[in-house]
Amino acid sequence: MGYRLSDLAARLGVPWEGPGDPEILGVAGFEGAGPGDLTFAVDRQRETGLADVVAAAVVVRPGVPCPLPALRADDPRAVFTQVLALFAPPLSRVFPDGRHPTAVVDPTAELAPDVALGPYCVVGPGARIGAGCRLGPHVVVEADAALGRRCLLHAASQVRERCVLGDEVILHGGAVVGSDGFGFHPGRAGLVKIPQIGIVVLGARVEVGANTCIDRATTGVTSVGEGTKLDNQVQIAHNVTVGRHCAISAQSGISGSCRLGDGVTLGGQVGMADHLELGDGVKVAAKSGITRDVPAGQTIFGYPAIEFRKGFKVVALTHRLPELFQRLAKVEAALGRRREGKDD
């Protein structure tokens, strides 16, 4: 069921130390650990609390005094991440090998021989699915869509027609890749739908959260770069370009034709007006509303979002508005008294 600490150390290539060589039965965060668990200490506070933690062993930096059995690593979180993978249930428990007999695959679709299809998957005509992909139950891959290798598509996620996924893309439950962009033309009898005939292209190792939506381009491509991670309920509008290695937190929305550079970070519930550009490495605090281009490297906050420290200061001063009004009233009163010759 578990692993000896020495065994884990060998698998991960890190030094270990006793007392003893405990069996590790599970993994847990520092606060939630129990007697059979391996946990990890990443900061000063936890490193000094090691005497009180209940755990079988701990991943901790070299040199930190540790009364418990330990794995030693310069980056305890990275090692802990590897251990988590060892304790994860096998993929085949959730995505069994082979094609479930109920999967409907169009005869013109091209699937690598080892693709795993869950019950009721639907793969449309002309679709291509690369080696090692696993599709959960009720996944839909529409006509002429293409998936790279080793993609993981969770239950009821969908890839609409002609969209393209790179290698090792993960879609979580209910994610929609390739919905129509929100484009309408005012006509005599109301809004006329502008056909959305472009596609979506997701780079390698993109992860798309549950119920997140990525709209196809009107013409051309909506793209999300390699390694970028989208949280749940994110909205990416038509013709947006998101760079590589970005992290977009839950419930954020990016309007049409925006361009995000590489390594951009958006907090939760951020909104972004259309046709804007964020440079590489821009960081945006949660709930901000972005209304203009932002140069590379800036951290911004607020609505309209401005440079973070200034935005933060503005908000702090906002909370002092009651004081401000009182002080101004006093000044006015003092001036008024003087004007009437009644100055003290």
Residues forming the active site: 238
In the complex, what is the shortest distance from the CB of residue 6 to its own copies, in angstroms, rounded to a whole number?
22
Whether 61 and 42 have beta carbons less than 8 Å apart is answered as no
Going by C-alpha positions, the residue among 310, 308, 304 that lies closest to residue 291 is 304
Closest CA to 261 of 283, 281, 288, 236: 281
Which is nearer to its own copies, 18 or 303 (by Cβ)? 303
- Contact positions with its own copies (CB under 8 A) in 111-170: 118-120, 122, 124-125, 136-138, 140, 142-144, 154-156, 158, 160-162, 170
Toward its own copies, which CB reaches closer, 50 or 306? 306
How far apart, in whole angstroms, are the C-alpha atoms of residue 261 and residue 242?
6
Q: Count of residues binding its own copies (CB under 8 A)?
A: 115
User: Minimum CB separation from its own copies for residue 270, in Å?
Assistant: 9
Residues of this chain, 33-72, that bind its own copies according to CB under 8 A: none
> Is 215 among the residues that bind its own copies (CB under 8 A)?
yes
Closest residue by Cα to residue 111 from 142, 138, 147 = 147
61: its two tokens: 């930096």
Which of 67, 52, 64, 70 lies closest to 9, judged by CA? 70
Contact range with its own copies by CB under 8 A, out of 8-16, 44-52, 57-65, 84-92: 84-92
Which one, 69 or 198, has the nearer CB to its own copies? Answer: 198
To the nearest 10 degrees (0 to 180), the angle between helices 308-318 and 321-339 is 60
Residue from 23, 128, 269, 308 binding its own copies (CB under 8 A): 269
Per DSSP, the three-state class of 260 is strand
Instruction: By CB under 8 A, tell whether 251 contacts its own copies.
Output: yes
Query: Does position 295 bind its own copies by CB under 8 A?
Result: no
